[in-house]
Structure 1
């Protein structure tokens, strides 16, 4: 497949690029600073962009089978970046007639599992309060997806870890795995790539966790 990855220098973005190349896909990585992309390959094209102009991005998404985005706030002070940058990506995709889009959101944006106990509910409530602005940004991003004409999927992980790929995790379409507290960035990327052709995930949030 021909894939475009936004946010390719982030933790999940780098994994998306590397795993996609290893799987034999052609990848266009859109980055602000190419020097920060520590991935290379014969099937990799690197495009530099500040992600402010949809017209500038049209060539990066033209003719692609899917677009994957790891764009999002890296800290609370960056809140607002996910919705803003995703609007630019959506505008470029819709101008080129590219439909498939997968993005990274977060577990608290979606519904909590009914099976969770007091500990998990308490942790979820605390994290949601501390990162209120970040999650508000992600909710607005998901609202932008819902208003778009794309076949989107929002992947919602819990606390992220820098650990090796396992390929073993749980997913729930429209919900979240009970007592799912952690997942490696590598496995989030793996899940996103595996969902590209999964029709049951179209226009859905998907919880993913160990």
Structure 2
């Protein structure tokens, strides 16, 4: 497949690029600063662009089979970037007629399982207060997705870890795995790539966790 990856210098984004190249896909990595991007490969194109300009992004998404985005806040003060930058990606995709889009969101944006442990509910409330603005940003980003013409999927992991790929995680379309508390960034990337061709995940939030 021909894939475009936004947020390619981030932890999830770099994993998407690496795993996609290893699987034989053609990858366009969109970055603002190529000096921060160390991945190489024969099927890799590095596309430098200002992510706030949809017109500048159109060549990066034209003719792509899917677009995958790891865009989001790296710290609390970055709240707002997920929505703003995703709007640019959506505008570029809609202008080019590129339909498939997968983004990284977060577990607290979606529902908790009905039978989730009380400790998990309490933890989500505390985390929700600390990262209130970040989750509000991701909620608005998902609203932008729902209003778009794209065939979107929002992948919602819990607390992220820098650990090796396992491929041994649970996914719940429209919900979240019970008692799921952690997930490696490498497994988030793996899940996103696996969901590209899953019709059941189109226009859905997907909870992913160990």
Q: Same fold (TM over 0.5)?
A: yes
Residue equivalent to 1:208: 208
Residue equivalent to 2:7: 7
Distance in 2 between the 1:122 and 1:50 partners?
40
Shift of 1:140: 0.4
Residue equivalent to 1:140: 140
Question: Does structure 1 retain, via aligned residues, the 8 Å contact 2:68–2:101?
Answer: yes
Residue equivalent to 1:121: 121
Structure 1 residues not aligned, in runs of 5+ = none
Residue equivalent to 1:158: 158
Distance in 2 between the 1:3 and 1:99 partners?
12
1:61 aligns with 2:61: yes
Task: Give me the CA root mean square deviation.
Answer: 0.4
Distance in 2 between the 1:124 and 1:50 partners?
34
Distance in 1 between the 2:123 and 2:143 partners?
25
TM-score (norm 2): 0.99
Shift of 1:25: 0.1
Distance in 2 between the 1:121 and 1:38 partners?
39
1:74 aligns with 2:74: yes
TM-score (norm 1): 0.99
Give secondary structure in 2 for the equivalent of 1:27. Answer: strand
Give secondary structure in 2 for the equivalent of 1:98. Answer: coil
Number of residue equivalences: 210
Shift of 1:52: 1.1
Residue equivalent to 1:84: 84
Question: Does structure 1 retain, via aligned residues, the 8 Å contact 2:50–2:56?
Answer: no
Which 4+ residue blocks in structure 1 deviate beyond 6 angstroms? Answer: none
Residue equivalent to 1:101: 101
Shift of 1:115: 1.3
**1:140-160 deviations in whole A, cap 9, x for unaligned?**
000000000000000000000
Shift of 1:89: 0.2
Shift of 1:86: 0.1
**1:88-107 deviations in whole A, cap 9, x for unaligned?**
00000000000000000000
Shift of 1:117: 1.3
Shift of 1:75: 0.6
**1:15-58 deviations in whole A, cap 9, x for unaligned?**
00000000000000000111111210010000111201111000
Shift of 1:4: 0.1
Distance in 1 between the 2:165 and 2:208 partners?
14
Distance in 2 between the 1:52 and 1:122 partners?
37
